[in-house]
Structure 1
Amino acid sequence: MTSSSPPAPAVVVGAGWAGLTAALALARAGHPVHLIEAGKAPGGRARSLDLDGTPLDNGQHILVGACQQTLQQIRSVGINPEQAFQALPFGLRMFGPTGRPQAPAFLLEPRSPRLPALAAALYRALAKHSLGTRLRALSGAAAMLHRPLRDDLPVLDWLRQRRQPDALIRSLWDPLCLAVMNTPTRTASARIFQNVLRLALNHGPEAARLLVPARPLGELFPEPAVQELRERGARVDLGRRITAIERSTTHDAAPYRLRDRQGVASPARGVILATPPAAAAALLPHETGWEATHQGLNAMGARSICTVYLRYARRLDDLPPLQGLLDQHGQWLIARNVAGAPHWLAVVISAADDLEPLTADARWRTVARSLAQTFPKLGEPETGHSICERRATLDAQAGLDARRPPARTPWPGCYLAGDYLTPALPSTLEAAVQSGLESAHLYLEDHP
């Protein structure tokens, strides 16, 4: 490299929400950036796609108002969250196969103070129980929010320690844990679940709002982020898969070279690997000094999520935007009219690894039959699609935080980013964004 050559860029591998956040932070700080993504579209596991001419998402995502860093990133690319999301009060209304509510709904009164709102919601949800059971459950729930956990344990054990009735576990805590962690209560980390509850329920009504995207996910952040990066002079390569990272100790200005499937090399001053943990492990060396990094990456188990999209002949404007499903093929029913697709429904199947394996066609037809029994007015859909992300999230088991790898790797100037790295959070967009900001901070700290 001659003195007149432009400086080597920071190369960010992976254009999911973590990688995009890191790339934007570096570009906004004035550093040259090269973003490389194996897929044809940015967004990672939260991207948009086209189904039968309708823009939908590869998975249905719902944020809460407590996702402050995510909302700030969305604002930073010129999108107003107040217009991009439909805000709903925090609440769960669960329906069984008969179509009747399985228990009184758990609904927070938006204008009530934090603890009284939670107490009132739980008290109503336990309407069929004795006064003693109600009071014990309220006392236990208050301790869940305000008493720190000394040791991590499965959520189910924690709930029983806090005297939560089995009926409330089934109708509230089980579906809520699956929704936020994609891990069942019998194995999920109580420490992470407690942190999520605190973030959503201990910081006022704004933090507890449910935010349903009113536009395709790609329009909310990934696509405008790529546009801004290009406007700032960053190079963005979509549809290019990196297969090897080489490091030289003799080229201080560009110590890294990243090679793709065709053998084309890209120089880098530093590298941020914003890929799933298994992909990062495959790119990093197996040498002395790397044991802790690989041990952490290999400890990151994964769980799948399936989203079934169903298209009906009639508009579905009469349906609530969000309904919970108990004992059915899926846990959440989302009317896509909020996102400008009034003929479509989305059914989210969390922890889908535990289900009977089905073809995509058989899965959406099975879900459609189940919904027709629960909500006869729906009738039969015209068509459907099933999209399964096999490694959609971490398997957020008890003890996960102690197993996460560090963001810094043994190679100076090489960092990890991704939702699996953020302590005390499950695999969420907020965890991804926070990790992207952290990796960019480390890069800027080491490359002033």
Structure 2
Amino acid sequence: MTDGPLRASPPDAVPVAVIGAGWAGLAAALQLVRDGLPVALVEAAAVPGGRGRSLDLDGAHLDNGQHILVGACRQVLAQMRAVGVDPQDALHALPFALSLRERRPGVDTGSFSLAPRSARPRHLAAALYRALGGETPPRRLAALFGAARMLTGTPGEDLPVAEWLRRAHQPPALIARLWEPLCLAVMNTPVAEASTKIFQNVLRQTLRGNQRDARLLIPRLPLGALFPEPALARLRASGAEVRMSTRVTGIAPLAEGGFELTLRGGDPLRARQVVLATAPRAAVRLLPESEALAPTRRALSALGARSICTVYLRYPRPVVDLPPLTGLLGQHGQWLLPRHLIGEPHWLAVVISAAEMSPAADARSRWERVARELSAIFPQLGKPDRGRVICEHAATFDARAGIDDLRPDVRTGLSGLYLAGDHCAHGLPSTLEAAVQAGLQAATAVGQDVGLVASR
């Protein structure tokens, strides 16, 4: 805990510096400003958003990754409203349902569908029972009761999801056509390794809350317009100091209290408190050399990393006749989202989770493969006239079994230095919701330590 962090030592220090203008850093900075603390926000990139930012490529508004929210992302929705973005206008809401398509050599295109009348337990059970039509009645009932235990029970240990599913009597065909694609989409980690604790928590929050929690929310706006850009504008309007295209290369504790941030190509910035809202690897590089920070450094280093590639395909004619979301089974990519909802009708996005498991020789060979596989299921598409591949090689931490107990807290071992990022939101995978929650937690910790706010 800090004592007297608002003292005039060092006299030229800003009260709080937030390093990183991703979703976590922006959420933290906004909350700190609301709490009455002047903030300096420092970001290495020219645009805000971090791993959830917008890009202008080939004359189109694309994103560095295709994100889907659910109604249970309550903090994201609240922060959007706080910066003047109405989720009802900005997000296309779909009732909870999953449709997945596949094409196998010599076999007509097949599909798997889980389409409950609602997310109420009895409707989910009925839909799952129908989806198990290829199984014998006893196996269908065993799988159904097992799935119910998955949502209500508590595993004694954090198993890999594959083992959890086996113990819940989920048939191999259902695992391959439902649970594995869903786990990969949510966790960016395959079922053989993914954390049951985190996956179960996401399922519970989505399917055991109210009906609105289970809705699928597909952006109608580029990611930057959903939150990062209006958040940055709100910070500037509130008097926060914003430094974009400014890289922090070091953080050093000061003998008189506070910290000095070394900025590439500029004068140092002094701050009484620092919120380090960067990806884990960058945070490890920036942490000061201090024995007190050894546990934080170990926690960050233990997280590992998983990649996500998003393939964008542009077609000569507008593509407006496909569903907003389609799962792809047995293909290089796993989820298909047409971009006409955000005003780019010629473009499709295909998400490749845990992309390090599906390497490609180069970007062109990757998008050409995706295009070929799509045309086998949707022959009306024809051939795209161009493609783009955007890969985030450390898009998420590795949400493997046991990882939740290793994750860092927002408070570090050094007074006045805090972390923010999806890796700090225990119980959640690397999502926008986790990033926002962690940013708010960091801001709350700062406010508590300086005596401005009580525990939220």
The aligned amino acid for 1:306 is C
Pair 1:300-2:303 in alignment? yes
What pairs with 1:27-176 in structure 2 (closer than 5 Å)?
Answer: 27-97=33-103, 102-110=110-118, 114-176=120-182
Provide, for residues 227-253 of structure 1, a one-character-per-residue CA deviation record: whole Å limited to 9, x for no partner.
Answer: 000001001111111001111122x4x
Distance in 1 between residues matched to 2:243 and 2:365, nearest whole Å: 36
C-alpha contact (below 8 Å) 2:292/2:414 kept by paired residues: no
Shifted more, 277-286 versus 337-346: the winner is 277-286
Pair 1:259-2:267 in alignment? no
The aligned amino acid for 1:150 is G
* Shift of residue 217, structure 1, vs aligned partner: 0.7
What pairs with 1:231-246 in structure 2 (closer than 5 Å)?
Answer: 231-246=237-252
The counterpart of 2:347, out of the listed 344, 347, 364, is 344
Cα distance change on mapping 1:2 and 1:427 into 2, 3 Å: closer
* Shift of residue 374, structure 1, vs aligned partner: 2.2
Provide, for residues 280-322 of structure 1, a one-character-per-residue CA deviation record: whole Å limited to 9, x for no partner.
Answer: 1111133322221111011011000000001111111111111
* Shift of residue 276, structure 1, vs aligned partner: 0.8
Pair 1:397-2:400 in alignment? yes
C-alpha contact (below 8 Å) 2:101/2:112 kept by paired residues: no
Provide, for residues 9-61 of structure 1, a one-character-per-residue CA deviation record: whole Å limited to 9, x for no partner.
Answer: 31000000000000000111121110011111100000000111111111000
* Shift of residue 257, structure 1, vs aligned partner: 1.0
Gaps of 5+ in 2: 1-6
Q: How many residues align?
A: 443
C-alpha contact (below 8 Å) 1:90/1:208 kept by paired residues: yes
* Shift of residue 405, structure 1, vs aligned partner: 1.5
Distance in 2 between residues matched to 1:104 and 1:349, nearest whole Å: 19
* Equivalent residue, structure 2, for 1:286: 289
Pair 1:10-2:21 in alignment? no
The aligned amino acid for 1:143 is R
* Equivalent residue, structure 1, for 2:204: 198
Provide, for residues 363-397 of structure 1, a one-character-per-residue CA deviation record: whole Å limited to 9, x for no partner.
Answer: 11121122122211100011110000000011100
The aligned amino acid for 1:21 is A
The aligned amino acid for 2:426 is P
* Shift of residue 2, structure 1, vs aligned partner: 7.8
Distance in 2 between residues matched to 1:192 and 1:345, nearest whole Å: 30
Pair 1:178-2:184 in alignment? yes
The aligned amino acid for 2:48 is P
The counterpart of 1:324, out of the listed 327, 337, 346, is 327
Question: Structure 1 stretches (4+) deviating beyond 4 angstroms?
Answer: 98-101
Pair 1:311-2:314 in alignment? yes
Distance in 1 between residues matched to 2:397 and 2:96, nearest whole Å: 24
* Shift of residue 104, structure 1, vs aligned partner: 3.9
SS in structure 2 at match of 1:279: helix
C-alpha contact (below 8 Å) 1:182/1:395 kept by paired residues: yes
Shifted more, 150-159 versus 401-410: the winner is 401-410
Cα distance change on mapping 1:420 and 1:335 into 2, 3 Å: same
SS in structure 2 at match of 1:398: coil
Cα distance change on mapping 1:189 and 1:100 into 2, 3 Å: farther
Give me the identity figure in percent.
Answer: 54
The aligned amino acid for 2:50 is G
Distance in 1 between residues matched to 2:353 and 2:97, nearest whole Å: 18
Shifted more, 73-82 versus 282-291: the winner is 282-291
Q: Scaled by the length of structure 2, what TM-score is found?
A: 0.94
C-alpha contact (below 8 Å) 1:12/1:33 kept by paired residues: yes
SS in structure 2 at match of 1:18: helix
Gaps of 5+ in 1: none
Shifted more, 360-369 versus 187-196: the winner is 360-369
* Shift of residue 117, structure 1, vs aligned partner: 1.9
The counterpart of 1:425, out of the listed 409, 428, 434, is 428
Distance in 2 between residues matched to 1:411 and 1:281, nearest whole Å: 14
C-alpha contact (below 8 Å) 1:103/1:171 kept by paired residues: no
C-alpha contact (below 8 Å) 1:331/1:347 kept by paired residues: yes
Distance in 1 between residues matched to 2:110 and 2:295, nearest whole Å: 47
* Equivalent residue, structure 2, for 1:373: 376
* Equivalent residue, structure 2, for 1:443: 446
C-alpha contact (below 8 Å) 2:325/2:335 kept by paired residues: yes
Distance in 2 between residues matched to 1:356 and 1:2, nearest whole Å: 54
Provide, for residues 87-117 of structure 1, a one-character-per-residue CA deviation record: whole Å limited to 9, x for no partner.
Answer: 112222111125956454012323x6x2112
Provide, for residues 143-164 of structure 1, a one-character-per-residue CA deviation record: whole Å limited to 9, x for no partner.
Answer: 0000111210100000000000
SS in structure 2 at match of 1:227: helix
State the superposition RMSD in angstroms. Answer: 1.7
Distance in 2 between residues matched to 1:289 and 1:54, nearest whole Å: 47
Q: Scaled by the length of structure 1, what TM-score is found?
A: 0.96
* Equivalent residue, structure 1, for 2:228: 222
Shifted more, 97-106 versus 236-245: the winner is 97-106
Cα distance change on mapping 1:190 and 1:2 into 2, 3 Å: closer
SS in structure 1 at match of 2:308: strand
SS in structure 2 at match of 1:420: helix
The aligned amino acid for 1:107 is A
C-alpha contact (below 8 Å) 1:36/1:237 kept by paired residues: yes
C-alpha contact (below 8 Å) 2:259/2:273 kept by paired residues: yes
Distance in 2 between residues matched to 1:2 and 1:409, nearest whole Å: 23
C-alpha contact (below 8 Å) 2:295/2:413 kept by paired residues: no
